[in-house]
Amino acid sequence: MKSSRHNLKYQATSSSGSSYTKDRRETRAPCHSTFSTSSDPASDLHPSNNESSSKDTAKSKSSSKKRVFDSPNRRYWFPKKTTEMNGPGFKFTVMSYNILSDSLMAFHTELYRGCKNDDLIWINRWPRILKEIRSISPDVLALQEAQSDHYVTNIYPDLKTLNYEGSFKKRTGNKSDGVALFYKPSRLKLQDIISLEFNQNRVGLDRDNVALIGQFQTKGNQSFILATTHLLFNPKRSDVRLAQTALLLAELQRLSFVNLSKFSPVIIAGDFNFTPNSMEHNFWMNGKAKFKQNISFGLRSIGLTSNCVHEHVEKYQHETGSSLANKSPHFIDRSARLFNPLKVPYNPYEAPFEEINHNFSFNSIETLDQGVTCKHDDRWRRVDYLFYSSSKSSMLYGKNEGKLKLVQVLRSPMSKGLKGLRIPSKMFPSDHISQAAKFILLK
């Protein structure tokens, strides 16, 4: 996708946070959104108590269908009641949001026919997005399609006023958007921030997608890792998405490895551009997949084993039993925050299909939330996910959970109730619906 270039006035991100010189040229519009969340599932279909007087009853009934998606209480936390949040451990909220880059929207105007012009303008959309973030008040916020100039003029300074610190990674090439991670320093310490560039020109993996990985520590000295990414959109290139996934998982394995029997908990949030019934989704959840090798790359050509581990990292970890998370060996370029894989020539006699695996066991918030997150080709579907790592210590909905437990999710709407709705809209200010979940990290 083409996008315009922007001159940014910000300094490089360090492992301790972000430092930016702000050029605030845009005037921020007042927030007119009334987004809020409710713990009552019934409230999504009814007006507030102030509107429930007897003289308004008939009017409320006659317009209830129209208010379903105008209502600020359409989404609610589920389960309604939980005892998990009262137990020992660190409780925190994670939110992931593809906020729609203006440059990408301008390049694909055909996708937004039927939307109101006022709902497409950034200075109208951003205050609504910000109010939604403020309402959920996540401890960690992952953003996709954050446009670089908007990051400087609106996103970073406005979230800074809400006591967040953040880091941004622009997509490579001439792309003007990227991903961002924000967190509350009052709740968490950022130990390190690492950016990944998936464009590996010399081996044919040439798409400009990126990822950000944050290593966090609680005040109780508990650690976890949270990553955000926006994978390739092209529906025909599942092989590229799988290779991008393998690169991300390899870095997560390196960073989360403590010793041969212990890993730090991991959460991955983002726009993955695949649906729940896809091969890529099955790979995340079940750890196995087969894909046809592109003539110009296989996993070995990007320095990975078939288990999605850096070849040299795997050898080092098994020989020493220690972690490379805080070391900078010759094959890890810490200045670029990107590993430098060895080039392995393509072997035309290798099998045309390659089986790949990963060593993580992931759960998904889909166990509690089976709603949709975006609309494409006039069909509602889910392409945004929050995956989190698990172990074999307990069971939840048929999947294993360890010290990192899912407690509640912010329910996404179901497709059957969204017929005829176009987004962005006043209620949903992006072309994706945000994802949010509450976790507890047990000691």
Predicted local distance difference test score (pLDDT) of residue 359: 83
Predicted local distance difference test score (pLDDT) of residue 30: 38
Q: Is the pLDDT of residue 78 over 60?
A: yes
Predicted local distance difference test score (pLDDT) of residue 252: 92
Q: Which of 264, 251, 210 is nearest to 232 (CA)?
A: 210
Tell me the pLDDT of the chain averaged across its residues. Answer: 77
Between 122 and 377, the higher pLDDT residue:
122
Q: Which of 212, 72, 87 is nearest to 140 (CA)?
A: 212
Say if CB 339 and CB 316 are below 8 A apart. no
Say if CB 164 and CB 141 are below 8 A apart. yes
Percent of the chain predicted with pLDDT > 70: 66
Alpha carbons 309 and 249: distance in angstroms, whole number: 7
Phi and psi, residue 62, nearest 5°: -70, -25
Percent of the chain predicted with pLDDT > 90: 48
Pick the most confident of 10-14, 279-283, 339-343: 279-283
Q: Is the pLDDT of residue 323 over 70?
A: no
Alpha carbons 12 and 195: distance in angstroms, whole number: 12
Q: Is the pLDDT of residue 253 over 70?
A: yes
Question: Residue 384 corresponds to which amino acid?
Answer: D
pLDDT digits (tens, 9 = 90+) for 345-404: 444 444 455 688 888 889 999 888 889 999 988 899 999 999 999 864 333 444 457 789
Q: Which of 302, 335, 94, 385 is nearest to 195 (CA)?
A: 335
Other C-beta atoms closer than 10 Å to the C-beta of 39 total 14
What residue ranges in 31-183 does DSSP mark as E strands? 77-78, 90-98, 140-147, 165-170, 177-183
Name the band, by pLDDT with cuts 50, 70 and 90, for residue 240: confident
Q: What is the average pLDDT across 188-216?
A: 90
Domains and CATH numbers, the chain: 38-74 (no CATH), 83-441 (3.60.10.10)
Alpha carbons 35 and 174: distance in angstroms, whole number: 34
For 53, 336, 390, 423, the CA distances from 428, given in Å and listed in that order, are 28, 36, 32, 6
pLDDT digits (tens, 9 = 90+) for 79-110: 977 766 677 899 999 999 999 999 999 998 99
Q: Is the pLDDT of residue 132 over 80?
A: yes
Q: Is the pLDDT of residue 319 over 70?
A: no
Q: Residues near 290 by Cβ (< 8 Å), separated by ≥ 6? A: 353, 354, 355, 356
Helix (H), strand (E) at residue 255: helix 238-256
DSSP-assigned beta bridge partners for residue 194: 213
Q: Is the pLDDT of residue 294 over 50?
A: yes
Predicted local distance difference test score (pLDDT) of residue 436: 98
Q: Is the pLDDT of residue 133 over 70?
A: yes
For 178, 212, 249, 263, 427, the CA distances from 266, given in Å and listed in that order, are 21, 13, 10, 9, 31
Predicted local distance difference test score (pLDDT) of residue 201: 77
Alpha carbons 339 and 322: distance in angstroms, whole number: 18
Between 218 and 303, the higher pLDDT residue:
218
Between 51 and 436, the higher pLDDT residue:
436
Pick the most confident of 142-146, 250-254, 272-276, 387-391: 142-146
Alpha carbons 31 and 49: distance in angstroms, whole number: 22
Q: Is the pLDDT of residue 437 over 70?
A: yes
Name the band, by pLDDT with cuts 50, 70 and 90, for residue 409: very high
pTM of the model: 0.77
Predicted local distance difference test score (pLDDT) of residue 387: 96
